Amino acid sequence: MSGELISSLAGKVPQRALRHINQLPYVASYELADTTTTVLGVDFGGADETFIIQTPATLRAKPLEVAIYDITEDFAGTTKGAVLIGDGSDADEFALTGNFVDAEMTATIGAKNYSSHAGTLVVGDTEIIQPADYVTVTCRASVTGPTGIGRVSVSFFYFV
């Protein structure tokens, strides 16, 4: 069974194919939000914020994209902000965005995407996340100056 078979059926999924639907790859996106303040999204000021995502029990994963959008406070600082995807003991075990470039992270520009396809979401020590793993997404704070507020989403490719 493959995704190509289903696409060739023009969206009509035969009953016999439904038994294998759990083996098809898919992409899932998660929007990260600071629940302790009234900020819509993530405030990269002050302290690192960590979010935990559990991967499905039977599928492996690969980080595909990190998007920062709806920027309401420009990013700046001597220590640059970043997003790190890790395993709890190593913050960038699976992937990292690298340091944000202040000139690219402003409310007037509006959004910044880091993707594995473009090479801007850099692979960490391990490229593939194993099934039923707890993944930590750390929004690393930038320090000194207005430090940046924006919405953050991360996307993972899940596969057998």
How does residue 1 score in pLDDT terms, banded at 50, 70 and 90?
A: very low
Average pLDDT, the chain: 87
Two tokens, residue 149: 């507020």
Confidence of residue 41 (pLDDT cuts 50, 70, 90): confident
Given a cut of 90, whether residue 83 has pLDDT beyond it is: yes
For 54-80, letters b (16+ CB in 10 Å) and e give ebeeebbbbbbbbbbeebebbbbbeeb
Mean pLDDT of 112-131: 95
User: Between these two residues, 103 and 132, which has the higher pLDDT value?
Assistant: 132
Amino acid at 109: I
Residue 79 has pLDDT above 50, yes or no: yes
Q: CA-based angle 69:37:98, to the nearest 5?
A: 40
pLDDT tier for residue 37 given thresholds of 50, 70 and 90? low
**Residues in the chain, total:** 160
Of 12 and 95, the structure prediction assigns the larger pLDDT to 95
Name which of 11, 57, 129, 102 is nearest 154 in CA terms: 129
Q: Using one digit for the tens of pLDDT, what is the confidence trace for 42-60?
A: 988 878 899 999 999 999 9
pLDDT at 3: 47
- Give the pLDDT confidence of 62-78 residue by residue, as tens digits: 999 999 999 988 888 77
The model's confidence at residue 142, banded by pLDDT at 50, 70 and 90, is confident
Determine the pLDDT at residue 44: 87
Q: Where are the beta strands (DSSP E) in the chain?
A: 26-32, 42-43, 49-54, 60-73, 82-86, 95-96, 111-115, 122-123, 134-140, 149-159
CB 157 within 8 A of CB 94: no
How far is Cα of residue 23 from the mean position of the Cα atoms in its chain?
22
Fold assignment, 25-159: Jelly Rolls (2.60.120)
Question: Residue 107: how many CB atoms within 10 A of its CB?
Answer: 14
Q: Which helix (H) or strand (E) holds 132?
A: none
Q: Is the dihedral of CA 110, 116, 119, 120 positive or negative?
A: positive
Closest by CA to 156, choosing from 24, 28, 25, is 28
